[in-house]
Amino acid sequence: MTYREAVEFGTKCLTDAGVPDAALDAWYLLQMVCKIERSYYYVHGEEDITQDAQKEYEIAVQKRAEHIPLQYIIGEQEFMGLRFKVNFNVLIPRQDTETLVEQVLKIVKPGMKVLDLCTGSGCVLISVLKNAPELTGMGSDISKTALLVAKENAKLHEVDAEWVRSDLFDNITETFDVIMANPPYIPTGEILSLMPEVRDFEPENALDGGADGLDFYRKIAGQVKDYLNPGGYVYMEIGYDQGEAVSELMRNAGFTEVEVIKDLARNDRVVKGKGN
């Protein structure tokens, strides 16, 4: 099997399985297995791959045909221009969430302390600290296995942060200038309708936001002021249709300068609030 035939084989298998972007995924899997770049492929496309590589590639294609997310097979995902390790214990970082990081970077100043709730892979906190290194950062998550991934990513990017296992604020004892969160926000009844890559493989406890998707926002809004320094900010990622509801929760909790910020697709993506 040549490199070109391998991509054609992978594309057909993934197309038959109803996998989106079949040709692109087939290429990425070949790139992972053979450790080659596009330039090499274009020049050497008619050369044979090794038998071992062919077997490994066929196994990888079969996994993707079962709708296992490409990122879990490859083991990484790009976010804010950085490569983050991912596995089945953490949500796959998404471009939408870059809006959260970008907004926080607009207001942080040297010496500030930042907290990232529901940190998962650590991509939000690590991206903030990598771009604003004179901060002190803490990431928390209820999942012990997720924190292991976050710690590995922090080491990979040479970022110094504290990692705490906590159900929201349960084990948090400090106060912060900025608190960020990308909590579970999908309504329970909508999870079964998600694409299989998400529904069947990403951790449900990082997706399920309760009956209306707002359970975690209610908890955060009700407690966050106790952990926020005077004049501190809260930034939370939200679902595309949750801007009004989460803004109301923040205003009712006494926050000022409450604002809904849209992502590049012009969907509501982040709610910001300022403490007293």
What is the rounded distance in angstroms from the CA atom of residue 124 to the CA atom of residue 101?
A: 6
**138-243-131 Cα angle (round to 5):** 35
**215 in a labelled binding site:** no
- DSSP-derived pairing of the beta strands 136-141 and 162-165: parallel
Say how many CA atoms lie within 13 Å of 209 toward its Cβ. Answer: 22
**126-240-266 Cα angle (round to 5):** 85
**183 in a labelled binding site:** yes
Is residue 194 within 8 A of residue 186, CB to CB? The reply is yes
What is the rounded distance in angstroms from the CA atom of residue 73 to the CA atom of residue 12?
A: 18
**196 in a labelled binding site:** no
**69 in a labelled binding site:** no
Residue 151 amino acid letter: K
Both tokens of 183, joined, read 């909590």
Residue 29 amino acid letter: L
Q: Can you spell out the DSSP letters for 201-228?
A: TS-GGGTB--TTS-HHHHHHHHHGGGGE
Is residue 180 within 8 A of residue 117, CB to CB? The reply is yes
**93 in a labelled binding site:** no
**Would residue 268 be called left, alpha or beta, if left means φ above 0 and alpha means ψ between -120 and 50 degrees?**
beta
What is the rounded distance in angstroms from the CA atom of residue 173 to the CA atom of residue 163?
A: 13
Q: Please report, in range form, the residues annotated as the binding site.
A: 141, 182-185
Q: Please report, in range form, the residues annotated as the binding site for substrate.
A: 182-185
Q: Please report, in range form, the residues annotated as the binding site for S-adenosyl-L-methionine.
A: 141, 182
